[in-house]
Chains A and B, each alone.
Chain A
Amino acid sequence: RKEVEQDPGPFNVPEGATVAFNCTYSNSASQSFFWYRQDCRKEPKLLMSVYSSGNEDGRFTAQLNRASQYISLLIRDSKLSDSATYLCVVHRDDKIIFGKGTRLHILP
């Protein structure tokens, strides 16, 4: 089983819709969790950290469920500029494990 798993998509979503991604991780010793976004042929950029209590940043909400070992990202009122690949990232000790990413296409 892969250490970090994501649905690769693509998710094709009309502008203004709400979209949710999930990510599961296999190692219960994982310590911290992040969502990054990556545009085509560009570097990953941090979108948000994921806290146990859940956190929100504008249109984006992230949740962590340690018992079930999954992380979610919700994007509300999606914009064309949200089109990208969303990467789930898990830290364990000094090791950083990326999921393969979920591709999102926002349709006008």
Chain B
Amino acid sequence: EPEVTQTPSHQVTQMGQEVILRCVPISNHLYFYWYRQILGQKVEFLVSFYNNEISEKSEIFDDQFSVERPDGSNFTLKIRSTKLEDSAMYFCASSEMTSGYNEQFFGPGTRLTVL
């Protein structure tokens, strides 16, 4: 069964450093998403991406965040200058279509720890 993969599973970084979180969505999917979940809190939408551009972003997705699809398979989330409060689980998801009744498939997540 096709699945979304994410690397690394755990990333530890120093405050102020840049991190890139990587995702490989399911191959025939067209819509890609990033979410974060701070420990003990709800899953929060960050950004949706379609046709090589951002289609929607939340208030959390400020200038320190960026997304890219550098090639035909990877979808990345970059955090330019990490803060302590960026420590969270980051989930990538993909779907064939947006909204409607289309299922989003989530990757296993990358746990980001900022020291």
Using a CB–CB distance below 8 Å, which chain A residues touch chain B? Answer: 31-32, 38, 41-46, 49, 51, 87, 91, 93-101
Contact = CB atoms under 8 A, between A and B. Distances in A.
Contacts of B108: 42-43
Interface in B41-81: 41-45, 48, 50, 55-56, 58
Given A46-B105, A98-B44, 5 more contacts: A31-B99, A32-B99, A43-B109, A46-B104, A100-B42
Interface in B81-108: 89, 91, 98-101, 103-108
A59 to B, nearest CB: 19
Contact of A46 (B41, B48, B100, B103): B103
A23 to B, nearest CB: 12
Interface string B26-44: 0000000101000001111
A45 to B, nearest CB: 7
Contacts of B50: 94
Contact of A98 (B43, B56, B98, B107): B43
A38 B89 CA distance: 13
A93 B57 CA distance: 11
A100 B41 contact: yes
